[in-house]
Amino acid sequence: MVASSPYQCMTLALLVLPPLFITTYFMAAFPSPPAPITLHPSLASLPPTSRSWSIYPEDYFSGGGYAVFPAGKVRYWLLGPEKGKKVVLIHGLSIPSIIWKDVAPKLVASGHRVLLYDLYGRGYSDAPQTAYDTNLYTTQLAFLLQYLKWDKANIIGVSMGGAIAAAFTAQFPHLVDESVGLIACAGLMESNDISRTAKVMSSPLIQALTSSRPVQMYMQHLINQSQSGSQEEKPLLEIVRLQSAHLPGYNNALSSSLRDGPVRGQRAAFQSKSFNGKRVLILHGTKDTTVHPKYATLISDLLPSGVKQKLITFEGAGHDLSVSHPVEVATALLDLLDGKSWKKLP
């Protein structure tokens, strides 16, 4: 047997040792601590002269306050008598709590204690630079109820807020009282329900571009030009445009909600046994072009058998039921919360 020469040994060492050292390094390497979440500002960061303050000021509702949580600061309002039946109203994808401007007062007038709050990335709540998935929204509400020392509440949501209400019920049934209201409810939308334009605009590349300073300045210029014109914009549409132009985290919140959030994929939530023992009201317009009316029926079919439920459709109505039909919506919600007419349901 021929002994290896020193040269051969050295060659072997050069071939074996580097991969061994690299493997050892990666096995022993310890990750750096995670960086803190970047928080983008809310409407509160805009000067008092901003158009947003005349449409949707910080004190638009009485009883306002802020709560600070790990994912950022949350703006909320408490309306109505302290001993009233507790109700949470959750807004949808793009318009903050002003969407409830015509419904909340009617619930308060009937003696209910109403909680309104802006979802992360909208209105006066911070916009964390993170994935706007279902858990972000459900834990936001869970933290808020704990902060306010509410043991449980009736949960009502519109559009994406309805999907959040359903997911919250599935995850935290002990925090949900007798009633769940789902208005023009998302949660089961398919990818082909979302327009190609929305898909392109929600892509990470486009979002990085639209969040850049030059594009933000251009959008603000367009907003200022439209305000100088003679035609007054509808307030809710204008508050969307103002958020998009002035809040760097708003567009990311919307796009991530479409890609990662509760507008889709909530079949298991609607099927959850956590709905057992609760009353579920489903309201939907027959001409809703944002969330197709077929999803109202599908939600009804998915709910566990034996759950007391009502499906009410509004003939000819579109998506924004809380704005277009506030009296009818409030009447249906008051009936849900009262529960007397539900006793005979199977």
Instruction: Summarize the confidence of residues 166-171 as an average pLDDT.
Output: 98
Beta bridge partner(s), residue 154:
87
The mean per-residue pLDDT over the stretch 287-312 comes to: 97
Strands 64-69 and 72-79, sheet pairing: antiparallel
Confidence of residue 229 (pLDDT cuts 50, 70, 90): very low
Tell me how far apart the alpha carbons of residues 306 and 304 are, in angstroms, rounded to a whole number: 6
Residue 267 lies in a domain: yes
CA 93, CA 214: separation in Å to the nearest integer? 25
Q: What is the mean pLDDT of the chain?
A: 88
pLDDT at residue 221 tops 50: no
Give residue 208's pLDDT band: very low, low, confident or very high (50, 70, 90).
Answer: low
Q: Which of 26-30, 78-82, 158-162 has the lowest mean pLDDT?
A: 26-30
Q: How many CB atoms lie within 10 A of CB 341?
A: 10
CATH of the domain at 99: 3.40.50.1820
Look at residue 147 and tell me whether its pLDDT is greater than 50: yes
Q: Tokens 């949660």 appear where? A: 187
CB–CB of 118/64 below 8 Å?
no
Residues whose CB falls within 8 Å of the CB of residue 34, separated by 6 or more in sequence, listed in order: none
Give residue 163's domain range. 39-193+255-338
What's the CA gap between 273 and 173, in Å, rounded?
Answer: 9
Q: How confident is the model at residue 1 (pLDDT cuts 50, 70, 90)?
A: very low
Length of the chain: 346
Torsion of the alpha carbons at 234, 186, 253 and 95, rounded to the nearest 10: 20
The pLDDT tens digits for 96-117 are: 999 999 999 999 999 999 999 9
Q: Is 99 a member of any domain?
A: yes
Task: Give the C-alpha separation, 281 to 231, whole Å.
Answer: 38
Residue 312 lies in a domain: yes
Higher-confidence residue of 294 and 205: namely: 294
Give phi and psi for 156, each to the nearest 5. Answer: -135, 130
For residue 76, what pLDDT band results from cuts at 50, 70 and 90? very high
Under 8 Å between Cβ of 39 and 72: yes
Q: Which amino acid is at 46?
A: L
The structure tokens listed for 239 are: 């508050």
226 pLDDT band, cuts 50/70/90, is low
Q: Is residue 24 in a domain?
A: no
Give the CA distances from residue 143 to residues 98, 135, 177, in Å, rounded to whole numbers and listed in that order: 22, 12, 17
Residue 27 forms part of a structural domain = no
> Do the domain assignments include residue 237?
no
Tell me which residue has tokens 């990818």: 191
For residue 48, what are the contacts with CB-CB under 8 A and spacing of at least 6?
A: none
- Number of independent structural domains in the chain: 1
- How far is the C-alpha of 28 from the C-alpha of 21, rounded, in Å? 10
- Binning pLDDT at 50, 70 and 90, where does residue 50 land? confident
pLDDT confidence tier of residue 19, bands split at 50, 70 and 90: confident
Range in 119-123, 212-216, 285-289 the model is least confident about: 212-216
On whether residue 249 sits in a domain, the answer given is no
pTM, full prediction: 0.87
Q: What mean pLDDT comes out for the span 13-36?
A: 70
Bigger pLDDT: 233 vs 88: 88
Grouping H, G, I as helix, E, B as strand and the rest as coil, residue 306 is coil
CA 227 to chain centre: 28
Whether 223 is covered by a domain: the verdict is no
